[in-house]
Amino acid sequence: MSPGAIITLAGRSGRRLKGFIVRKEAKQHGTGRDVEGPVQPGDSAVIVEDVVTTGGSSLAAIDKAAAFGLAIRGVLAIIDRLDLDTRAAVETGEALVDLARGDAGEAVLAGEVVTSAALLREDAPVAGVLVGERSRQAARTALDLQEAPDVVVPGASAPMRRWLVQGVRASARAIQAPFTGRAVELPLLEQAFVRTLRESTVQLVTITGEPGIGKTRLVAEFRTLLENRQPVLWRQGRCLPYGDGITYWALGEVVKAQAGILESDDPQQAAEKLEAAATAVLEDPTHRDWIVASLAPLVGAVSTSPVGADERAETSFTGWRRFLEAIAVHDPLVLVFEDLQWADPALLDFLDRLADSGSPVPMLVVCTARPELYDMRPGWGGGKRNSTAIALSPLSEEETGRLLAALLARAVLPGVVHDVLLERSGGNPLYAEEFARMLVDRGILERHGRRGVIAPGAEIPVPESIHAVIAARNPELSRGDLVPSAGGPSPERGVP
């Protein structure tokens, strides 16, 4: 059965599924996107593979879909060539990741959640999936689960509870926050792009804000706006907080996307794809050869010392800039670099030089970062006529109230809960979204048709912070964080 057949059969049975494809290589014509189909950033998705051998293509598809903005909930393999006796288990929790102890560059995981997952897998039936307590809580609205017998674990204080996955609920939908309160910021992005087209210049836009304030969502809405109006080439990379060889990781993701290079490609395959991508936009073979040589270490096409040594930086920066300019000559180019607060100073140097290049090509460079970026680079973007800074402020109480009403499907919260919630959210959209997810996960928020209803007598947690509200989706929350739905006091947390 092909993935297309799944969509067809679902339609015949009255279940509406949106199908999309993830291309191995983006086409040079049309939208030029890796992800094609009626999906939008923020949608939940499952990757469906006809046949899985090593899993490399599935991982590559996950990377591309996640870069597009989809929330990947899982991978469905119709046929697995490796092992007909496949068993799987899922448990949720925190694990210690040791990057130094692993062999061949692989990380070592340790922690209770790892042990629990291994024990679950041992008892999972063939072609079945067992989940633990925390995973059940996180996914119970999306999965049909059958309780399996508890198992006694030596040294544990209580038996391990387990559930067998029976299927995915057709009606399960992820909670998606409506786009709220950015009526000023979105037009600023649009104006920068219009200026890019009108003047055929490089424009730099820097979006800053606290975690969860809506930087990624604003960029996703901007992308949707552009793609609904005209063809545009969109390339995106993310800076990583730690790891080896990540100095130019975000730029490498941009080049890989342009060349259609997958994480599963070996150095030779990466080199061939890079050469083809360069040939498509660079006509002069003399220039092309040294530009490809400068790009190769970014995508793992050759084994060399890390890019960026002093004696090579100038040549590398020039080669990278000319490759991006050549792309923009063919199509207006939008480059997005996320989490710039984690960027290496060398990458910041390159982006600064790119913005200052004065290249006569339509290129918009959008950077997102936490405010710490300006601690690293106090003068970032300053003094540039082609630079725009957008600082995202918290939502107002009125905007937060509208957001909560939409997320809760117009369910009415007790007055005291609503007031405390507005105060503790601090105008952060992520807090509001996670709060709504928590209510659904705990069975407090029930949907009756298109409206939501708060379960009678339920105690409603109102955690102090985003981290706490995510943790509160675990049912083992202390009662000190609970506000009775009747509006009674909870003096332990200072709720009036």
Identify which of 437, 494, 483 has the alpha carbon closest to the alpha carbon of residue 177. 437
Average pLDDT over residues 320-342: 94
The two beta strands, 88-90 and 129-131, are: parallel
- Per the rule left: phi > 0, alpha: psi between -120 and 50, beta: everything else, 69 is left
Would you give the distance in Å from CA 175 to the centre of its chain? 15
pTM beyond 0.85: no
Give the tens place of pLDDT for each residue, 342-388. Answer: 999 999 999 999 999 888 999 999 999 999 999 999 999 988 889 99
The answer to whether the beta carbons of residues 136 and 145 sit under 8 Å apart is: yes
Q: Is CATH 3.30.365.10 the classification given to domain 86-173?
A: no
Radius of gyration for the alpha carbons in the chain, expressed in angstroms and rounded: 25
Strand partners, 148: 162
**Closest by alpha carbon to 49, among 28, 87, 79, 85?**
79
- The proportion of the chain whose per-residue pLDDT surpasses 90, expressed as a percent, equals 31
260 or 6, greater pLDDT: 260
Q: Would you say domain 1-82 falls under CATH 3.40.50.2020? A: yes
| Mean per-residue pLDDT, 325-333 | 92
The stretches of 78-233 forming alpha helices (DSSP H) are 112-123, 133-139, 185-199, 215-227
Pair of tokens at residue 174: 């992820």
Q: What is the pLDDT of residues 42-65, one digit of tens each?
A: 777 888 876 665 667 778 888 888
Q: What is the pLDDT of residue 176?
A: 64
Q: E strands within 41-172?
A: 44-52, 71-80, 88-90, 96-98, 108-110, 129-131, 143-151, 160-168
Place of tokens 């070996």: 266
* Residue 310's pLDDT band (cuts 50, 70, 90): very low
Does pLDDT of 180 surpass 80? yes
Q: Exposure of 150 by Cβ count < 10 A (0-12 exposed, 13-18 middle, 19+ buried)?
A: exposed
**Structure tokens, 307:** 């890019």
For residue range 440-492, what is the model confidence (pLDDT) as tens digits? Answer: 777 777 766 667 777 777 777 777 666 666 565 554 433 344 444 433 333 23
pLDDT tops 60 at residue 103:
no
Higher pLDDT, 83 or 268: 268
Question: Does residue 216 surpass a pLDDT of 50?
Answer: yes
pLDDT tops 50 at residue 436: yes
d(CA 92, CA 175): 20
* Residue 94 near residue 107 (C-beta atoms within 8 A): no
Least confident of 129-133, 304-308, 320-324, 365-369: 304-308
- What is the pLDDT confidence band of residue 27, given thresholds at 50, 70 and 90? low
pLDDT tier at 304 (50, 70, 90 boundaries)? Answer: very low
Query: Which of 42-46, 168-172, 326-330 tops mean pLDDT?
Result: 326-330
Nearest-CA neighbor of 444 among 174, 42, 140, 83? Answer: 140
Q: d(Cα 382, Cα 13) in Å, to the nearest integer?
A: 58
pLDDT, the chain, mean: 80
Give the model confidence (pLDDT) of 229-254 as tens digits. Answer: 888 899 999 998 877 778 999 999 99
Residue 388: predicted pLDDT: 95
Rounded CA-CA distance 100/221 in Å is 39
pLDDT score at 11: 60
Q: What percent of the chain has pLDDT over 70?
A: 78
* Between residues 80 and 495, the one the model is more confident about: 80
Q: Is 450 left (phi over 0), alpha (psi -120 to 50) or beta?
A: alpha
Euclidean distance between CA atoms 349 and 316, whole angstroms: 12
Q: Smallest Cα–Cα separation from 65: which of 226, 207, 236?
A: 236
Q: Is the pLDDT of residue 106 over 70?
A: no
- Is the pLDDT higher at 336 or at 81? 336
Calculated CA dihedral for residues 134, 136, 137, 138, nearest 10 degrees: 90
| Parallel, antiparallel or unpaired: strands 160-168 and 363-369 | unpaired
Architecture per CATH, domain 185-391, reads as: 3-Layer(aba) Sandwich (3.40)
Q: Check residue 206 and give its pLDDT.
A: 97
pLDDT of residue 490: 34
| CA angle, 237 then 241 then 242, to 5° | 115
The DSSP code for 211 is T
DSSP string, 438-469: HHHHTT-EEEETTEEEEPTT-EEE--SSHHHH
> Widest CA span of the chain, in angstroms?
76
